[in-house]
């Protein structure tokens, strides 16, 4: 592959010319975004190749503004004639578009001026034979665990992505990143007493990825541990969320402080800015500048400079996630959270958001729980973003006298996110694994619906 810097420079020239053509054609303002992605993945089942995929894609989007009217168009055809037609189509659409008093480019003072080195691409690009071998090693480690009887497969992949954004205010920025992943899904038991579980790891740098044997073994051990589950009696009890499902609580919070939802009045936290919504001591951070982070970028998709923010500080809600349009609608200033595809205008989205770790270990967090539930899997999407009502299927383990006991399944856990957040306690085992991360989390007072 050509040097990413060269590819980025070529894309910046391309969209700079596109913006210039749009303003020459009559646009009062314009911006454009270029996306490029390449990936290679391999999947095996019982040692044999089952799924091999290679994909490459390039597309770009142009937004033009005429007063308070805007239009967005996109294309995958980069021929000069096609780009000329793209500009004409965008101008024509903007002339008949309804007025939007909140649309527009950012205040020039907010534009990012200094690129940060975020170390998001290591240049390692494994080929298909290597990926197949890593997938086989991952699955073989899962199958080697005593009690594992079958496999849903092992997988390995690598990918590369390039994003370039520019606008008629003079901003132009490029960001490129890579990723490597391993996965395994194992089945334990037989006949009607089978259980499955999985493990998945992804990193921007190959050297940070665990060994295939580690990923496969963890998937196999998790599946075996879930054998012969029992049902729980319905009751109110503490619920402890394993880190891989605790991230969903952070995701629900991020959705609730999205500026678009707040502006529409469809968030259960819409009236809570500046108020305590989590227990004292709890912090939630959004960090777009973390090195090797999956969502790291020094500019947002309007060119606004990004910065690390405490969304929750000592339990108190400090901000919404806003792009320029939602910030204007709310009478505030963009927080640098504009995200954008090529065919639509910007909208707010979180970056690397995480629940800060607490002081207790997971064992200490559960020490005083006489009977509770440790959740390792959540099922369904029973969350109401308007009211905060929460009801999801779950499986995991009984907590008895502070220790994990037998597996349990066919359970529903219920509550309301407003109360759950206030009664949430994080453990100290945070690991940065994805774009949204959390340590082990305990929530007291939830309702368990069992038999």
Residue range 55-111, pLDDT digits in tens: 999 999 999 999 999 999 999 999 999 999 999 999 999 999 999 999 999 999 999
Contacts of 277 (CB under 8 A, 6+ apart): 269, 312, 315, 316, 317, 418, 421, 422
What average pLDDT does the chain have?
A: 96
Separation CA 50–CA 139 (nearest Å): 12
pLDDT higher than 90, residue 29:
yes
* C-alpha distances in Å from residue 121, one per residue of 64, 160, 297: 32, 8, 12
Q: Identify the pLDDT of residue 380.
A: 87
Q: Identify the pLDDT of residue 429.
A: 98
pLDDT-derived band of residue 178, with 50, 70 and 90 as boundaries? very high
- Percent of the chain topping pLDDT 70: 99
Contacts of 133 (CB under 8 A, 6+ apart): none
Summarize pLDDT for 111-121 with one digit per residue, the tens.
999 999 999 99
Summarize pLDDT for 203-229 with one digit per residue, the tens.
999 999 999 999 999 999 999 999 999
| For residues 322-341, average pLDDT | 97
Token output for 218: 């963890």
| For residues 325-341, average pLDDT | 97
- Percent of the chain topping pLDDT 90: 96
Residue ranges and CATH numbers for the domains of the chain are 4-222 (3.30.2290.10), 229-451 (no CATH)
pLDDT-derived band of residue 294, with 50, 70 and 90 as boundaries? very high
19 near 60, Cβ under 8 Å?
no
pLDDT higher than 80, residue 1:
no
Q: Where are the beta strands (DSSP E) in 99-247?
A: 148-167, 172-188, 195-203, 235-241
Q: Identify the pLDDT of residue 381.
A: 85
pLDDT-derived band of residue 2, with 50, 70 and 90 as boundaries? low
| For residues 240-266, average pLDDT | 97
pTM given for the model: 0.95
| For residues 28-51, average pLDDT | 97
Q: What SS3 state is found at 122?
A: coil
Q: Identify the pLDDT of residue 311.
A: 98
* Burial of 391 per CB tally in 10 Å (0-12, 13-18, 19+): middle
pLDDT higher than 80, residue 293:
yes
pLDDT-derived band of residue 450, with 50, 70 and 90 as boundaries? confident
Summarize pLDDT for 359-417 with one digit per residue, the tens.
999 999 999 999 999 999 999 888 999 999 999 999 999 999 999 999 999 999 999 99
């Amino acid at each position: 592959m050509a040097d990413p810097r060269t590819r980025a420079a070529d894309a910046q020239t391309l969209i700079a010319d596109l913006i210039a053509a749009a303003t020459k054609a009559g646009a009062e303002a314009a911006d454009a975004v270029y996306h490029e992605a390449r990936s290679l993945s391999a999947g095996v089942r019982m040692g044999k190749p089952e799924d091999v995929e290679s994909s490459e894609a390039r597309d770009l989007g142009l937004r033009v503004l005429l007063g308070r009217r805007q239009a967005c168009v996109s294309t995958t055809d980069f021929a000069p004639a096609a780009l000329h037609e793209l500009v004409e189509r965008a101008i024509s659409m903007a002339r008949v578009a309804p007025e939007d008093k909140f649309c527009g480019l950012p205040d020039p003072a907010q534009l990012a001026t200094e690129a940060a080195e975020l170390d998001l691409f290591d240049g390692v690009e494994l080929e298909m034979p290597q990926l197949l071998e890593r997938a086989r090693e991952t699955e073989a480690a899962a199958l080697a665990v005593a009690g594992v009887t079958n496999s849903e497969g092992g997988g390995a992949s690598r990918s590369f992505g390039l994003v370039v954004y520019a606008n008629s205010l003079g901003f132009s920025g490029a960001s490129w990143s890579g990723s490597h992943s391993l996965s395994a899904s194992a089945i334990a038991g037989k006949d009607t007493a089978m259980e499955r579980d999985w493990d998945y790891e992804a990193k921007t740098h190959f050297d940070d990825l665990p060994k295939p044997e580690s990923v496969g073994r963890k998937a196999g051990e998790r599946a075996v541990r879930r054998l012969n589950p029992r049902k729980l009696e319905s009751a109110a009890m503490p619920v402890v969320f394993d880190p891989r499902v605790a991230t969903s609580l952070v995701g629900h919070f991020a959705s609730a402080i999205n500026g678009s939802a707040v502006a529409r009045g469809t968030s259960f936290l819409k009236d809570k800015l500046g108020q305590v919504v989590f227990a004292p001591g709890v912090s939630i951070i959004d960090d777009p500048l973390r090195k090797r982070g999956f969502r790291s970028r020094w500019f947002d998709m309007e060119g606004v400079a990004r910065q690390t923010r405490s969304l929750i500080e000592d339990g108190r809600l400090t901000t919404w996630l806003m792009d320029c349009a939602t910030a204007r609608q709310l009478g505030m200033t963009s927080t640098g959270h504009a995200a954008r595809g090529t065919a639509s205008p910007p909208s707010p989205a979180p970056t690397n958001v995480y629940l800060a770790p607490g002081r207790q270990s997971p064992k200490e967090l559960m020490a005083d729980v006489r009977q509770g539930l440790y959740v390792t899997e959540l099922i369904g999407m029973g969350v109401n973003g308007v009211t905060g009502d929460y009801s999801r299927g779950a499986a995991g383990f009984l907590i008895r006298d502070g220790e994990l006991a037998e597996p349990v399944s066919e359970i529903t856990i219920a509550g309301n996110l407003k109360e759950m957040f206030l009664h949430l306690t994080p453990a100290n085992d945070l690991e940065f694994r994805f774009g949204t991360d959390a340590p082990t989390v305990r929530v007291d007072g939830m309702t368990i619906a069992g038999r």
